[in-house]
Amino acid sequence: MSTEDNKALIRRFYEEVFNKKNTAAIDDFVAPDHIERAKQTITMYLSAFPDLHVTVEDLIADQDKVVARLTVRGTHQGAFLGIPPTGKQVTGTAIDINRITGGKSVEHWNNSDTLRLLQQLGVVPLPGQVAPR
């Protein structure tokens, strides 16, 4: 596949799986021997943030790798990392790198701003704030 095909695949993945909430389509994008627990991670996020929406800000591809810069938004309506629902809306950023083989992601690396997310949920104080009790 070309780098443009790989970029289109990743863009369709975010739209179909996250934005349309079609977790059944994960297998269309992720190889069975994928190096990561993609299904469990995606299901956890969509359960905790059922209105989660991913915006692809940038896609960069080189050979078999695609880098996506993302903005994610959602409302905390289900348990997340042991945190009960807060009803708070959150916005976060992430960088995903996928290695594509045979039209599917076979490896994935993610760098998300989890600290910012936890601060928005109110479980981690902002600098200069007193820790929540």
Residue ranges of domains in the chain: 3-121
- The whole-angstrom separation of Cα 30 and Cα 101 is 10
List the one residue out of 99, 117, 119 whose CA is nearest residue 108.
99
At residue 41, does pLDDT exceed 70? yes
What is the structure's pLDDT at 81? Answer: 93
What is the average per-residue pLDDT within 96-100?
97
Cβ burial of 97 (10 Å; 0-12, 13-18, 19+) is middle
Task: Place 39 in a pLDDT band, splitting at 50, 70 and 90.
Answer: confident
Q: With a threshold of 0.75, does the pTM exceed it?
A: yes
Question: For 73, what's the count of Cα atoms within 13 Å in the CB-facing half-sphere?
Answer: 5
At residue 131, does pLDDT exceed 70? no
List the one residue out of 20, 4, 9 whose CA is nearest residue 98.
9
Maximum separation of any 2 CA atoms in the chain, in Å: 52
For 3-121, which CATH class? alpha beta
- Quote the percentage of the chain above a pLDDT of 70: 98
Task: Place 88 in a pLDDT band, splitting at 50, 70 and 90.
Answer: very high
Tell me the average pLDDT of the chain.
Answer: 94
